[in-house]
A = this chain, B = another copy of it.
Amino acid sequence: MRPRRWTTRKSVRVYKTPIFDLHRHQRTHPERPPHDFFVLDVPDWVNIVPLTSKDEVIMVRQFRHGIEGFTLEIPGGMIDPDDRHPRAAARREMVEETGYDSDKITPLGRVHPNPAIQGNYCHSFLARDVYQTAKPNLDSNEETQVVNVPLEKIGGLIASGKITHALVIVAFSFLEVCGPPRERRRMRSG
């Protein structure tokens, strides 16, 4: 059976937060009774793999409020209205969170973080030959520790559960498919 589209009859924003809004959509279907579906209205996100000329990934350790614990991640965040392009947002987040910069930034791919309850994309990028340009400049509620991780160790950190953020794993998965700068299979040896 080919699934059919639901049509929105009425939408209400039922709650507003600084980083997403919650909407209730009343939707109808050719053969089913009307139903309410709840969706987060959230801007597109970005993340970026900052890679040095020595094949080290510049990562950040930070406290995450969803899990009430610490994660090891690549830089990332929301696209701001001032960002001209997802790439610009990714570069901004990288510089803010790590103090590293690069002008060799290429797209890796984009995914739906959660198509069931969010409409947004997360766009992933690779920054090659990153160099330290400043100290991290963080939002008032952000606090990160910059950690240099050899690219060849990433596979092991994912397999052992040290890197747990789905969108970070997606970015590394894209990187592996696209091929890191020097040696395509190097990440797998970790």
The residues of A with any CB-CB pair to B shorter than 8 Å are 1-6, 8, 14-15, 17-20, 22, 24-25, 27, 29, 32, 35, 37-40, 61-71, 109-119, 122, 140-141, 143-145, 155, 158-159, 161, 164-167, 169-170, 173, 177, 188
Contact = CB atoms under 8 A, between A and B. Distances in A.
A71 B169 contact: no
A187 to B, nearest CB: 10
Oligomeric state, in copies: 2
Contact of A166 (B69, B112, B140, B145): B112
A113 B22 CA distance: 18
Contacts of A140: 32
Contacts of A61: 2-3
